[in-house]
Amino acid sequence: MNGPHDLGGQMGFGPIAPEKDEPYFHAAWERRALGVTLTAGAMGAWSLDESRHARESLHPADYYSSSYYQIWIKALETLLKRHGFVSDRDLAAGKAVDPAATPKRVLKAENVPAVLAKGGPCDRPVSTPARFSAGGRVRTKNFHPTGHTRLPRYARGKRGIVEAVRDGFVFPDSNAHGKGENPQWVYTVVFEGAEIWGEGADPTLTVSIDAWESYLEPA
Amino acid sequence: MSHDHDHDNELDPFAARVRALETILTEKGLIDPAAIDVIVDTYETKIGPRNGARVVAKAWADAGFAAWLKRDATAAIESLSYAGRQGEHMQAVFNSEETHNLVVCTLCSCYPWSVLGLPPVWYKAPPYRSRAVIDPRGVLEEFGLALPGTTKIRVWDSTAELRYLVVPMRPGGTEGWSEERLADLVSRDAMIGTALAREPA
């Protein structure tokens, strides 16, 4: 979707303002927000793709006025309601009122180190050979799906070179909507700055994205 | 561990919102609050940019490791026991005299947690995410880094599940240094690409 999250090339957000010796957390609630998000995700009811889509589906005004942990929590409430774990009545009461769906698993403290060490690999076998090869010329599609996609707006309809053929990976555009992993080949595609930004582009700039095969056409 | 920060207070509506959510999920038996403590402790004290600095230092000191890191970063990094969440599929990109690498996630906040820990706020915020791909030199100048006009800049937008680690150039005057000492020259920002490795004092 052409949501508020798709930020590449947008203007007007001001200076970056890196913070010297920045702490990992700026308030105690951010620690809990991280932990609640990860432990709730560990129930196994939704994918990382679905949670990304929940975040980018916030109203743009809400997205831009929220810190990242606030975005996480707002999206988490959506996911918990969607999957039957939390109700509006629970949230209004600030305590458990309604019964919850049964999770696939509950992450216990003693299992956290092993779960974090294992991570969640997203590479999958793909039964078809890779359509493109390193060095090949491609053009990204120009599309504007209303659902989740990982092809940024600034890189749509642009000509680039395949720099590397990666592995097969879960396709987020379908997986985010519970329509299956449908793995595809992923390629690192590099674009000249001028192809993307046109007049006035930095002549020393190249930008790459990692693109699923169905984002690409031969050029 | 969770209530030791003076910026937080009970009147902050967002703190109350998060607390309510944790309470609801705990009462329903869906999460274990002790698991949250372990997660927070892991990312506050155990997994951070020191991991990545050791990877870079080893690549500087050991040409064989550097070649492995270039070819198969996931396996090379795993050999140092830094595998894990948000580091499942790693790529290492090496700075050179010709090319400087810069990593961003314009769509969200993708970041190599297993080697750099949790991302800083600026990495996740709109100013960096919007500008890194269109005006990287302007971005770098805000970090105090002015590259020669002839240096090529390669921006890696982390749009899939690959996570990128920048390997900065090794500073001169560090011949014969131990990996531990070399690692002290490698900042988090140098491994994102918004800084160079520190020069030896």
Contacts (Cβ under 8 Å, ≥6 apart) of A133: A162, A165
| Rounded mean pLDDT, A86-92 | 98
| Domain assignment of residue B18, given as a range | 13-45
Chain A, nearest residue to B6 by Cα: A27
Locate the chain A residue with the closest alpha carbon to B157.
A209
* C-alpha B198: how far from chain center: 16
For residue B8, give the nearest of A27, A80, A94 by CB distance: A27
The helix or strand, by DSSP H or E, that contains position A188, with its residue range, turns out to be: strand A184-192
pLDDT in tens, B161-180: 999 999 999 999 999 999 99
Nearest CA to A185 among A199, A170, A198, A196? A170
Which sign does the torsion angle of CA B6, B10, B16, B18 carry? Answer: positive
Q: Is residue B70 part of a domain?
A: yes
Question: Per the domain annotation, does B198 fall within a domain?
Answer: no
Instruction: Considering only the beta carbons, identify the residue of B23, B88, B156 that sits closest to A208.
Output: B156
Interface confidence, given as ipTM, is 0.98
**Cα Rg, chain B, nearest whole Å:** 19
Q: What is the mean pLDDT of residues B33-37?
A: 98
DSSP state string for A106-120: ---GGGHHHHHHH--
Does B4 score more than 50 pLDDT?
Answer: no
From residue B85, give the alpha-carbon distance in Å to each of A133, A138, A149, B52: 29, 32, 22, 14
B141 and B109 fall within a common domain: yes
pLDDT digits (tens, 9 = 90+) for B60-114: 999 999 999 999 999 999 999 998 999 999 999 999 999 999 999 999 999 999 9
Binned at pLDDT 50, 70 and 90, residue A105 comes out as very high
Set of chain A residues whose Cβ sits within 8 Å of the Cβ of B75: none
- Phi–psi pair at A125, nearest 5 degrees: -65, 145
Q: What does the mean pLDDT of chain A come to?
A: 97
- Residue B200 within a domain: no
- Tell me which amino acid residue A186 is: V
What the block records as the tokens of B1 is: 């561990």
Q: Judge whether B153 and B131 are in contact, CB under 8 Å.
A: no
For residue B83, list chain A residues with Cβ-Cβ distance below 8 A.
Answer: 117, 119
Does B194 lie at the interface with A, CB-CB under 8 angstroms? yes
- CB proximity under 8 Å: B 113-132 to A: 114, 117-118, 120-122, 124-132
Respond yes or no: is residue B187 known to be catalytic.
no
Do B119 and B111 meet the contact criterion of CB atoms below 8 Å apart? yes
> Which pair of structure tokens corresponds to residue B185?
């020259």
- What is residue A162's predicted lDDT score, i.e. its pLDDT? 98
- Residue A92 C-alpha from the chain's centroid: 29
Measured CA to CA, the distance from residue A155 to residue A193 in angstroms comes to 11
Q: Which of B2, B96, B108, B130 is catalytic?
A: B108
Domain holding B125: CATH number?
3.90.330.10
Binding residues of B for Fe(3+): 105, 108-110
How far is A51 from A104, CA to CA, in rounded Å? 17
Whether A109 has a pLDDT exceeding 50, the answer reads yes
CA distance B28 to chain A (A): 7
Residue appearing with tokens 């703190």:
B15
Same domain? For B114 and B130 the reply is: yes
CATH superfamily entry for domain A28-118? Nitrile hydratase, beta subunit (1.10.472.20)
Residue intervals in chain A for CATH 2.30.30.50: 137-218
Half-sphere exposure of B26 (CA within 13 A, CB side): 16
| B2 pLDDT higher than 50 | no
Is there a domain that residue B2 lies in? no
Quick one: DSSP state of residue B94? E
Q: How far apart are CA B79 and CA A49, in angstroms?
A: 29
| DSSP state for residue A110 in the 8-state scheme | G
Give the right CATH number for A137-218 from 3.30.56.10, 2.60.120.10, 3.40.1050.10, 2.30.30.50. Answer: 2.30.30.50
CA–CA dist A165, B123 (Å, integer): 27
Which residues of B define the annotated binding site? Answer: 105, 108-110
Same domain, B59 and B39: no
| Residue B6 pLDDT greater than 70, yes or no | no
For the record, the structure tokens of A96 come out as: 């458990």
- What is the rounded CA–CA span in Å between residue A139 and residue A43? 39
Same domain flag for B103 and B125: yes
A contact test, residue of B4, B102, B157 with most A CBs within 10 A: B157
Tell me the helices (H) and strands (E) count for chain B, helix number first: 11, 4
Residue found by looking up tokens 């944790």 in the block: B22
The residues facing B92 across adjacent strands are B165
